[in-house]
Structure 1
Amino acid sequence: EALEVLRRRLPQFGLDGVQNIWVLKPAGKSRGRGIQLSASLDKIMEVGVGRGAEARWIAQKYIEHPLIVSGKKFDIRQWVLVTRWTPLAAWFYKDSYVRFSFEDYDPNKIKNKYGHLTNFSISKHAEDFDEKRDDTMWHSDEFQEHLAGLGIVRDGRKIEDPWLEIVQPQMKRIVVRTLESAQDAVLPRTSSFELFGYDFMVGEDLSVWLLEVNSSPDLSYSTATTRTCVKAMLEDMMQVVIDVEKFGTRLERPKRKWGSCRVASGRYELLEPARRRREEKFRKIRKDAAQLAVQGTGIKMRRPKRGECPRGPDAEDDPRYSAIAVLSTLGETEGEGAGATGAPGDSAEDLDDEGDEEEDEEVETEACPRAVDGALAADRGGDAEDASRSEEAAGEPSGGE
């Protein structure tokens, strides 16, 4: 019961085993070249030592409980055609092929690459490999029949077609989620498409795991299975690109009900057609409509010119840059200077402190010449008013004389 609870609560519970095996893949290689299996942390850390492309490796948790068919481990190669990124248009090919390991699977023999790796490029180098026999590949129809014969029961009900009811729906969800994760990083390109090769593995509980996504999948006729599948897939791909998507005929594709184009698209199926209809409806902007956009930029402080206040004309909160504050400071300085010659009660330390304050104030006011000039102008204006009052008082007659 405890294991069942963990299985429900931990989505990746099926990945764990008792050996903690990891797959090490060189990032710059393909077709299974350089792949290693290891359960030692020291060995895993050693493969990343180096510089440049040789030091770039991918460490991936090994699926220790895969579904086994006739003692062989396998994976599924699935084709996905992307004809548009915004809105997302992903076409899922209904046919795929299954690749088996050449030797029987044994988790205790991790150095036997022919029992762990399913790449045809690896299997063909085995000693007993026969190119005339197609024992390492199945068409998805054969795998579908195999799953139906297992008698799988879920929630008290026998699953008649596990391939269509359990396995393929998981594959489709994974395809959509992976493309969504890269959707914002791809620039929109008109009348362009790309074919991806998804590699999936099925666990013993029929849980589907994504191994990798190949941007340049192999389309060679390496076996009788691939010769049939690849040829039919390429023909259907051209139907989707030319007949359905109308590439090269017009900039704007005609409105269509994407869920009803199954015949013209061959074996390709559009994933989430309702989503595409919805996004095309609400994201389409009419040519005569205004396109509104809000763009932001960082604030760059203007460097003050020579002789200008560093904080500009609106720096009223700082007394160093205020003419009134400077004027009052000058007045206090003159008053202090009058009594600095030896006013009663002033000690030598007080006089020294006042002198220091005057020097500090002079340094501060020199940092803002414009404020000082304004303060001096205001001071001169006040002296002129005092002088005019004195002259008026001197010119008035005294006592009626």
Structure 2
Amino acid sequence: MALVRGHSVALVSLLQRRAQETTGRMQQWLEEHYQAEMKSIDQLSEVVRYHIESAEHLKNEMVLRGTKFFLMDVCRVENPTALRIIQLECLYQGFHLVSQSGVMPSSGLYKVLGEITSVHIENSKVPYIESLLRDKSEHIDWRRLLLSAALPWPSPSVPQLLAVLEGFKAVDSDLTGYVSEDQYLQVELWFSDGTEDAQGDSSEMPSSKRLAELRKFFFKLFADHSSLPSRLHYETMLRYFAADPDPREGFIRALSLGLGKQVKSPSQDQLVQSMTSMEEEVETSELSADNQEEKALDVSSTSSAEQEVSIPALLAVIGRKVPETSQSQEELVQIFAELNCGWEDSIPFSVLCQHPAFQALMKKSTQHQLIDIHDLLLCCLDGTDEEEQDESDSATSL
């Protein structure tokens, strides 16, 4: 019995010593770890203080990972005026819940933005955003809004849009007009290398990481998620990217995409001269029957190398809203009739552009106008996910 008790006492003493040694080592490790963390935080603070005092922008991303602090050599700090991808996805989820079609009543914009951002939005900002997006039927296309929110992104030229269109058709072997996400990722977009000029603030080029994230976000934004798997109507997506701050230029870019060939328009000076000559001609006298025949011959004898357009091709570009398309159809029929052409006839685009009514039609096609409201949305979303971001930063520093 005494032997068992002695052995037990010796074993307990051994366990106590080992426990004390382990506790001491843990305490020492925690102190060293804490000192290393504080040193890294001090280094980060010193770098931040230096840039603040010298009024210099951070050119490299600062990373605080555990006890280590370092600057990334190959990753630049994202443009502070650009919305984060998580904010864009938050906006997308909110709008998609309201309307999966992408079109919603303009009156609901304030409510949706308020619910998504969870912050107060100035009453004067929302009507301004609505006025830029609202169509004649008092609806807005929220995908246009999110495309503006994603700025800056590289703006494609017409040849680039046509090249990407051909790339999608190549992977769409059955020519259904749709591609899956895997097929979408196989096609090289115009900003794959990140070397093109950015639309918006071109002084801050998006990093390669952000461009890769935007590429995935754009599929989510424009894809039809009601089918399994999700699929993307690629020509519709490219038509959004054909938009331009000038609605007339956006219309011509979208028309080029629809025809599959670049449409060249006459310069503004040529259009002004043409309008002046047409007004003088109307003031002097009406065209005789012979003159009308000559005019028809002039239209048909225009250089064959020039792109020609028909009423159906123009209607495909003008819009998706039935009332607006019906009104535009009547206007186009009248314009073509004045040029002695019918529904199935094609007219050189340079000739069509000289008609004042067609110029007005292009100018009011605001669905092809690229709006720039991401600064306003940035202000609205300034508080979005702020607490989550603070928690993430705190977790990173521990």
User: Is the shorter-chain TM-score for this pair beyond 0.5, marking a shared fold?
Assistant: no
TM-score scaled by length of structure 1: 0.23
Name the structure with the higher helix share.
Answer: 2
Query: Larger radius of gyration, structure 1 or 2?
Result: 1
Name the structure with the higher strand share.
Answer: 1
Relative contact order (alpha carbons < 8 A, sep ≥ 6): 1 or 2 greater? 2
